[in-house]
């Protein structure tokens, strides 16, 4: 039975925060670690330097992604909290002006002037700050940033994605390592594109196309660097 408490369960927007971080982390893990391995593989005749670079890239990348995501989302949270504090001060200093602003917001969304004012008055009477946070600042429970969740999702996803090219460097032939890495990475990116599209309810074809194109570009440029330097590691 559809109720106000479960009506969003069939939608995808409530997944946007963690899904964005997870897809970004997994994509970056697959592409960056594979690209690093390919770059070293094209200039190396032994497995050890490739493994060392791959493991170092995996560890450093996972920690960097988690830390970067945490700092980035924390900055967004700080901005939101600063705006909420400012809104509370404005409500205290000029309540009538804030009421008119709220009414105008509802009017621009399609309500009649009288109805918009009535809605603004009733919502203000119930919780003025909550109404302004939601409708003036555009902050709600779905869009509100969560630094810990984003950092964990991004770091864990990077690790999961980076492990895939690491496995290839352990078992593939050194003489054709870059080709094995490229093929396995493309397959991994296609799977990631399908999973992310299914989870987010978007087009599978578009998700696969953009993730494969950018992945191929990154790996191609990394291989080119290895060939250009032509250093036998």
Is 68's pLDDT higher than 60? yes
> 203: which 2 tokens?
């087009």
Cα dihedral sign, 169-175-178-181:
negative
| d(C-alpha 13, C-alpha 200), whole Å | 8
| More confident of the two residues 223 and 118 | 118
Is 76's pLDDT higher than 90? no
Is 11's pLDDT higher than 50? no
- At 201 the three-state DSSP class reads coil
Among 3-7, 35-39, 52-56, 187-191, whose mean pLDDT is lowest?
3-7
Helix axes 204-229, 177-200, angle to 10 degrees: 150
178 close to 38: Cβ distance less than 8 angstroms: yes
Q: What is the pLDDT of residue 201?
A: 66
25 close to 158: Cβ distance less than 8 angstroms: yes
Is 233's pLDDT higher than 50? no
Q: What is the pLDDT of residue 227?
A: 65
Q: What is the pLDDT of residue 19?
A: 64
Torsion angles phi and psi, residue 83, rounded to 5: -65, -40
Q: What does pLDDT average to over the chain?
A: 82
| More confident of the two residues 189 and 112 | 112
| d(C-alpha 19, C-alpha 67), whole Å | 17
Tell me the pLDDT band of 54, cut-offs 50, 70 and 90: very high
Cα dihedral sign, 228-65-85-110:
positive
Q: What is the pLDDT of residue 8?
A: 47
Q: What is the pLDDT of residue 169?
A: 92
Q: What is the pLDDT of residue 2?
A: 43
**Cα distances (angstroms) measured from residue 26 to each of 66, 127, 158, 160:** 12, 41, 4, 7
Q: Which element (helix H / strand E) includes 177?
A: helix 177-200
> 183: which 2 tokens?
């093929």
| d(C-alpha 24, C-alpha 69), whole Å | 10
Report field, pTM of the whole predicted structure over 0.75: no
**Cα distances (angstroms) measured from residue 189 to each of 30, 159, 181, 219:** 7, 15, 12, 12
Q: What is the pLDDT of residue 123?
A: 92
Torsion angles phi and psi, residue 190, rounded to 5: -60, -45
> 107: which 2 tokens?
């009017």
Tell me the pLDDT band of 116, cut-offs 50, 70 and 90: very high
pLDDT digits (tens, 9 = 90+) for 138-154: 877 656 667 888 788 88
Is 166's pLDDT higher than 90? yes
Is 30's pLDDT higher than 80? yes
Q: Which residue has the tokens 């990475």?
A: 185
Is 220's pLDDT higher than 60? yes
């Amino acid at each position: 039975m559809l109720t106000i408490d479960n009506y969003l369960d069939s939608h995808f927007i409530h997944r946007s925060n963690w899904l964005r971080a997870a897809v970004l982390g997994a994509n970056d893990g697959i592409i960056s670690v594979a690209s690093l391995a390919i770059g070293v593989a094209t200039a190396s005749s032994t497995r050890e330097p490739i493994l060392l670079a791959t493991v170092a890239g995996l560890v450093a990348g996972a920690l960097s992604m988690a830390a970067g995501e945490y700092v980035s989302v924390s900055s967004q949270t700080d901005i939101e909290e600063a705006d909420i504090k400012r809104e509370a001060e404005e409500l205290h200093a000029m309540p009538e002006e804030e009421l008119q602003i709220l009414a105008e917001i509802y009017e621009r969304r399609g309500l009649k002037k009288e109805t918009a004012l009535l809605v603004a008055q009733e919502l203000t009477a119930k919780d003025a700050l909550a109404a302004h946070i939601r409708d003036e600042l555009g902050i709600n429970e779905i869009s509100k940033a969560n630094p810990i969740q984003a950092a964990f999702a991004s770091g864990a996803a990077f690790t999961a994605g980076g492990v895939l090219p690491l496995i290839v460097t352990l078992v593939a032939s050194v003489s054709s390592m870059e080709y094995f890495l490229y093929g396995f990475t493309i397959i991994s990116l296609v799977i990631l594109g399908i999973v992310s599209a299914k989870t987010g309810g978007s087009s599978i074809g578009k998700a696969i196309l953009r993730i494969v194109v950018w992945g191929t570009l990154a790996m191609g440029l990394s291989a080119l660097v290895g060939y250009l330097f032509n250093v036998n590691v």
